[in-house]
């Protein structure tokens, strides 16, 4: 039996029944939160959190972690650049060891920033060995993750035939389903572990609906959570993914849709009817031409959105800053109609509490893990982040509103201590459970190989660019 007590923290539990404690303690026994109270006296290892704000571990509901070695390549890119550069040029060059280093270092990056849970959308399974190494990278990192096994074929340009939304890139379809079944059996047979299993079917953008339906059926046969890109492309409503999923009876509470920026009103109503969750990726969506983040709609029509980083090839992993970014954008967009009539807003419309909810308990619910993590609730696993409020940049913060202080004034640089399952993985601002230098070396070596190999065949986006009829004809 192990016991740890976090003492003297300001605590934002994100549990409405407990609320915030101006000063309090958190008792952890065998990796589980046992109590949260103003004072807990017990014989246990003590973590002194004086001057810190304790929050639940953050939850990223959609991250292509395998792209970690491609950081910055997509900093000025839109979706056609992503398709040509990442999906068609770089992805097939990955070796199994590149998948390992991308997921291992990428998950460590998440932990370093206070993100204790990620929904890893792993859609670069060139061979079964790529999947094994991606899972091993997550496992070795110590992160909590929903591993989303991607079923998209990699070695063929399925985007080339996608103008009608009926791409013919079948690949070794049955083999890909067999790989998913084998992974489920080998790595995810126990419920008492940090990794859980999900399936990411092919997008309707590139795959025949009957194949997508078969992949949904396989996921449900394996009790896997479904994660699916939907309605993120502005092509004059050529695609209405939610309507199509509904027509085939595929919507359900085990489904997490990503983006949904171009849903119709009726599609949002269908999501509410079937209890579907939505992950919003604000920075990527606003950068890459996917429309405005659908936080308002997901708040109205679902149990509440999670937020996510998405493409680490284009954006950083700071989820606190991500929450603040979309919060301010939503505030502006809500007030903007009044400006056209010279009407100034008289009260705030979206709050910092809502923003932190997106990144904690909502995210856990989207991942199907809200009984496990997402709030500092006794009985849940002890995924805890301590944010340092002792610096000159936080001096004078409002002790009556720790949530406002976190969202409005903090960032990943404030992450002092991180626990996952009660295990300290970061202390005094540094990861302590791994050899960080070795992780950096491994990722840099992987990047060097990938970039050199791509350079030998025209670089990140070879010229002239590969034709993508979908965008040329319909965008």
Question: Got the DSSP string for 384-401?
Answer: EEEEE--STTTTT--TT-
Q: Which residues of 413-448 are buried (b: 16+ CB within 10 A; e: fewer)?
A: ebbbbbbbbbbbbbeeeebebbeeeebeebbeebbe
Angle, helices 128-141 vs 173-187, to 10°: value is 30
Nearest to 306 by CA among 281, 325, 273: 281
Q: Is residue 293 classed as helix, strand or coil in its secondary structure? A: coil
The predicted model scores a pTM of 0.96
Instruction: Give the residue from 424, 395, 396, 304 showing the smallest Cα distance to 357.
Output: 304
- What is the distance between the alpha carbons of residues 169 and 276, in angstroms, rounded to a whole number? 28
- Nearest-10 crossing angle of helices 128-141, 96-112: 30
3-state secondary structure of 224: coil
Per 3-state DSSP, the chain is made up of helix, strand and coil in percentages (nearest 5) of 40, 20, 40
Rounded Cα gap, residues 322 and 336, in angstroms: 21
CATH fold for domain 58-339: TIM Barrel (3.20.20)
State how far the Cα of 244 lies from the Cα of 266, in Å rounded to an integer.
12
> Looking at residue 474, what is its pLDDT?
57
Quick: pLDDT tens for 101-150: 999 999 999 999 999 999 999 999 999 999 999 999 999 999 999 999 99
Q: What angle do helix axes 96-112 and 436-455 make, rounded to 10 degrees?
A: 130
What's 310's DSSP letter? B
What integer pLDDT is reported at residue 167 of this predicted model? 37
Name the H helices within 113-196.
128-141, 173-187
- As a whole number of Å, the CA-based R_g of the chain is 22
- What pLDDT was estimated at residue 475? 52
Kindly report the number of other CB atoms within 10 A of residue 217's CB atom.
13
Beta bridge partner(s), residue 258: 229, 279
**pLDDT, tens only, 178-190:** 999 999 999 998 8
Give the residues of the chain that fall short of pLDDT 70: 155-171, 235-238, 472-475
């Amino acid at each position: 039996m192990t016991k740890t007590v976090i003492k003297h923290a300001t605590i934002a539990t994100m549990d409405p029944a407990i609320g915030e404690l101006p000063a309090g303690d958190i008792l952890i026994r065998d990796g589980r939160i046992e109590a949260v109270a103003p004072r807990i006296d017990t014989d246990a290892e003590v973590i002194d959190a004086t001057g810190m704000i304790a929050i639940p571990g953050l939850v990223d509901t959609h991250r292509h972690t395998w792209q970690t070695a491609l950081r910055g390549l997509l900093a000025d890119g839109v979706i056609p650049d992503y398709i040509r550069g990442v999906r068609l040029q770089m992805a097939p060059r990955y070796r199994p060891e590149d998948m390992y280093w991308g997921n291992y270092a990428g998950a460590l990056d998440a932990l370093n920033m206070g993100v204790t849970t990620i929904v890893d959308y792993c859609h670069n399974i060139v061979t079964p060995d790529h999947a094994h190494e991606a899972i091993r990278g997550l496992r070795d990192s110590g992160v909590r993750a929903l591993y989303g096994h991607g079923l998209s074929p990699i070695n063929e340009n399925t985007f080339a035939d996608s103008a009608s939304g009926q791409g013919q890139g079948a690949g070794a379809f049955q083999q890909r389903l067999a790989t998913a079944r084998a992974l489920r059996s080998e790595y995810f047979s126990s419920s008492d572990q940090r990794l859980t299993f999900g399936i990411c079917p092919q997008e309707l953008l590139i795959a025949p609906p009957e194949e997508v339906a078969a992949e949904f059926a396989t996921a449900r046969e394996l009790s896997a959570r479904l994660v699916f890109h939907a309605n993120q492309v502005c092509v004059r409503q050529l695609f209405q993914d939610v309507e199509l999923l509904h027509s085939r009876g595929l919507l359900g509470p085990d489904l997490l849709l990503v983006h949904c920026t171009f849903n119709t009103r009726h599609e949002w109503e269908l999501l509410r009817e079937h209890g579907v969750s939505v992950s919003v990726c604000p920075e990527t969506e606003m950068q890459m031409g996917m429309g405005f983040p659908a936080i308002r709609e997901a708040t109205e029509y679902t149990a509440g959105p999670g937020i996510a980083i998405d493409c680490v090839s284009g954006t950083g992993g700071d989820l606190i800053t991500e929450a603040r970014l979309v919060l301010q954008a939503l505030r502006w967009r809500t007030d903007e109609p009044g400006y056209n009539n010279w009407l100034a807003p008289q009260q705030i419309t979206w709050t910092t509490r809502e923003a932190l909810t997106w990144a904690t308990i909502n995210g856990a619910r989207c991942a199907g893990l809200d009984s496990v993590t997402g709030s500092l609730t006794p009985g849940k696993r002890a995924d805890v982040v301590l944010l340092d409020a002792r610096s000159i940049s936080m001096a004078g913060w409002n002790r009556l509103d720790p949530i406002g202080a976190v969202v409005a004034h903090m960032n990943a640089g404030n992450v002092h201590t991180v626990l996952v399952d009660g295990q300290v993985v970061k202390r005094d601002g540094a990861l302590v459970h791994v050899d960080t230098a070795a992780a950096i070396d491994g990722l840099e070596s992987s990047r060097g190989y990938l970039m050199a190999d791509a350079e030998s065949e025209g670089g990140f986006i070879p010229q002239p660019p590969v034709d993508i009829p979908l965008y040329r004809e319909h965008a």
